[in-house]
C-alpha cells in the first residue's frame, strides 16, 4: 500500500437542513443558484449514511474505497496498537458542517446503548472545532439546564414544542478556534451560521427530538428504527451545571500546535490546530489522521517526501506515513482517533 497521504475529494450529498455555501467555497465546488441543502462534507469516512446503501463512504477514485484499503492493510493504515484495540475501524469520522439554519434539537446514543440496541460498539459522541461564526460569535445549545424526565421529553417530542425544547437547553457562545465536546446522550443543537470541523465516533446514529419545519419525516425516521419508546432511553435526563459545561469547552489558544478539544474528549478522538509560518514548521506525531487545510499555502511532508498544500485541501493519512511536517504560511486541523492507551470512557448511562 502507499504510505502517502491521499487527497480527499469533496463528499457532499443532500440533507434535510440548509447549508453548504462555505463548504463549497472552501473545497472549490461550483456556486449554487439556489440555497443549498448540502451542509456536510464527510471526510475519511468508512461510514454510510443511516438507512442508505453506501452514501457517505469515502471513495478515493482509482485508489478505491477507503474502507477497502484499510481492510486490506489495517496495521499500516491504523497502527498495531490501534488495530489491537479497535480492529480495522479508524474509530473516527470527520465532517465539515456548515449550518445554513439552526439544526433541530437531537441526541446521539452512547456506546452502551448502541451495543444493546444497534449491535455496534460505537455510539456517536461528537466534538466541534469551530472555524467560523457570525460576527460576535455563534451559538450552540448543549445539555439541559434542569432535570428533564423521560416522560417530559416524550411529551415535548409528541407535541413538537420547539420553544420549550430550546428553552431547556443551555446556549453557549463560541468563537473561531474554540472546541466543544458533546457526550453521547446529550440533547443539543447548532445555530445557523456555525461552520465547524466535526469529529465523531464512526456511526450515523441520531435521535431527532425536533423535526417540525424541517424536510424530514421525524415520526418515521427520527428514532433509528427503534421506536421512540426505546430511542428516548438514549437521551440524558440530568442537568448540566456550570462546572460540567465548562469541562466540555476549550477556548481558543495560541501556539503553532495546540489541542483544540477539551480533555474529556480524549477517550473518543483528538484534534490539533496547526499554524505553521514561513519561519517555523510544525510536526505532528505519526497516526491515522484526517487533515483539513483551512488557510494559506505551504507543503506537507512525510517519510522524506513532501507535496504542496493549500486552502481547501483535505487528506486522509495512514499511520505508516510517519510524522507529518507542515511548512509555509498554512493553518490546518488535524483530526486523530483516540490514543489506544487511553482508558475507556464512563458514560452517563453506565452511572445510573
CA distance 21 to 36: 7
**Structural domain includes residue 193:** yes
Cell of 266: 480524549
**148 and 279, same domain (yes or no):** no
* Least confident among 255-259, 280-284, 346-350: 346-350
pLDDT at 305 over 90: yes
Section 308-320 average pLDDT:
98
CA distance 292 to 310: 10
**212 and 327, same domain (yes or no):** no
**Structural domain includes residue 294:** yes
**Structural domain includes residue 349:** no
Contact 80/12 with Cβ under 8 angstroms? Answer: no
**303 and 245, same domain (yes or no):** no
pLDDT at 263 over 90: yes
Would you list the DSSP string of 170-221?
Answer: EEEEE-TT-EEEE-TT--EEE-TT-EEEEEE-S----EES--TTSSS-HHHH
Residue entry with cell 481558543: 252
**Structural domain includes residue 141:** yes
Q: How far is CA 243 from the centre of its chain?
A: 24
**266 and 139, same domain (yes or no):** no
**Structural domain includes residue 33:** yes
Which pairs from 306-310 meet CB under 8 Å and 24+ separation? 307/4, 307/5
**156 and 290, same domain (yes or no):** no
Last residue of a domain, one of 250, 265, 285: 250
Tell the burial category of 269 from Cβ atoms under 10 Å away from its Cβ (0-12, 13-18, 19+): buried
Section 30-34 average pLDDT:
88
**10 and 99, same domain (yes or no):** yes
pLDDT at 315 over 80: yes
Beta strands in the chain (DSSP E): 6-7, 40-43, 93-98, 106-107, 126-132, 138-144, 169-174, 179-182, 188-190, 195-200, 207-208, 249-250, 257-259, 270-276, 282-284, 289-302, 305-310, 314-317, 324-336
CA 247 → CA 114, 185, 258, 324, distances in Å? 24, 16, 17, 30
Cell of 154: 416524550
SS3 at position 319: helix
The total domain count for the chain is 2
pLDDT at 13 over 80: yes
**11 and 110, same domain (yes or no):** yes
pLDDT at 33 over 90: no
Last residue of a domain, one of 250, 265, 283: 250
Last residue of a domain, one of 202, 231, 250: 250
Q: Mark residue 61 as left, alpha or beta (left: phi above 0; alpha: psi -120 to 50; beta: remaining).
A: left
pLDDT range class, residue 346, cuts 50, 70, 90:
very high
**242 and 311, same domain (yes or no):** no
**306 and 192, same domain (yes or no):** no
Q: Report CA Rg, the chain.
A: 19
pLDDT range class, residue 351, cuts 50, 70, 90:
confident
**244 and 261, same domain (yes or no):** no
Question: pLDDT tens-digit profile of 60-111?
Answer: 999 999 999 999 999 999 999 999 999 999 999 999 999 999 999 999 999 9
Containing structural domain, residue 84: 6-250
pLDDT at 1 over 80: no
pLDDT range class, residue 31, cuts 50, 70, 90:
confident
pLDDT at 157: 98
**Structural domain includes residue 348:** no
Nearest by Cα to 40 from 14, 59, 61, 65: 14
pLDDT at 187: 98
| CATH number for the domain harbouring residue 290 | 2.60.120.10
**Structural domain includes residue 163:** yes
Q: Which residues pair with 314 in a beta bridge?
A: 292
pLDDT at 223 over 80: yes
pLDDT at 2: 77
Tell the burial category of 110 from Cβ atoms under 10 Å away from its Cβ (0-12, 13-18, 19+): buried
**Structural domain includes residue 233:** yes
pLDDT at 306 over 80: yes
**82 and 206, same domain (yes or no):** yes
Contact 228/106 with Cβ under 8 angstroms? Answer: no
Residues in the chain: 352
**20 and 107, same domain (yes or no):** yes
Amino acid at each position: 500500500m502507499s504510505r502517502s497521504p491521499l487527497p480527499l475529494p469533496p463528499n457532499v450529498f443532500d440533507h434535510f437542513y440548509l447549508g453548504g455555501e462555505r463548504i463549497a467555497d472552501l473545497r472549490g465546488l461550483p456556486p449554487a443558484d439556489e440555497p443549498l441543502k448540502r451542509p456536510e462534507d464527510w471526510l475519511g469516512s468508512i461510514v454510510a449514511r443511516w438507512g442508505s446503501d453506501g452514501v457517505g463512504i469515502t471513495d478515493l477514485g482509482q485508489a478505491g474505497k477507503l474502507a477497502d484499503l484499510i481492510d486490506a492493510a489495517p496495521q499500516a493504515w491504523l497502527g498495531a496498537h490501534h488495530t489491537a484495540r479497535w480492529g480495522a475501524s479508524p474509530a473516527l469520522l470527520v465532517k465539515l458542517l456548515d449550518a445554513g439554519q439552526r439544526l433541530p434539537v437531537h441526541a446521539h446514543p452512547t456506546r452502551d446503548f448502541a451495543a444493546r440496541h444497534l449491535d455496534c460498539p460505537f455510539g456517536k459522541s461528537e466534538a466541534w472545532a469551530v472555524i467560523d461564526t457570525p460576527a460576535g460569535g455563534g451559538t450552540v445549545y448543549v445539555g439541559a439546564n434542569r432535570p428533564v424526565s423521560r416522560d417530559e421529553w416524550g411529551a415535548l417530542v409528541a407535541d413538537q414544542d420547539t420553544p420549550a425544547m430550546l428553552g431547556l437547553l443551555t446556549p453557549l457562545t463560541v468563537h473561531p478556534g474554540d472546541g466543544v465536546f458533546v457526550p453521547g446522550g446529550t440533547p443539543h443543537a447548532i445555530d445557523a451560521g456555525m461552520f465547524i470541523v466535526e469529529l465523531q465516533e464512526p456511526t450515523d446514529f441520531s435521535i431527532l427530538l425536533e423535526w417540525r419545519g424541517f424536510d424530514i419525516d421525524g415520526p418515521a425516521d427520527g428514532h433509528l428504527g427503534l421506536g421512540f419508546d426505546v430511542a428516548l432511553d438514549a437521551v440524558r435526563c440530568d442537568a448540566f451545571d456550570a462546572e460540567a459545561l465548562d469541562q466540555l469547552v476549550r477556548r481558543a489558544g495560541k501556539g503553532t500546535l495546540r489541542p483544540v478539544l477539551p480533555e474529556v474528549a480524549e477517550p473518543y478522538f483528538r484534534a490539533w490546530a496547526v499554524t505553521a509560518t514561513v519561519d517555523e514548521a510544525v510536526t505532528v506525531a505519526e497516526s491515522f489522521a484526517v487533515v483539513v487545510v483551512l488557510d494559506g499555502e505551504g507543503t506537507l511532508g512525510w517519510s522524506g517526501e513532501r507535496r504542496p498544500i493549500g486552502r481547501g485541501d483535505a487528506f486522509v493519512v495512514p499511520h505508516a506515513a510517519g510524522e507529518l511536517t507542515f511548512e509555509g504560511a498554512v493553518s490546518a486541523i488535524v483530526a486523530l482517533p483516540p490514543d489506544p492507551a487511553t482508558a475507556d470512557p464512563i458514560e452517563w448511562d453506565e452511572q445510573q
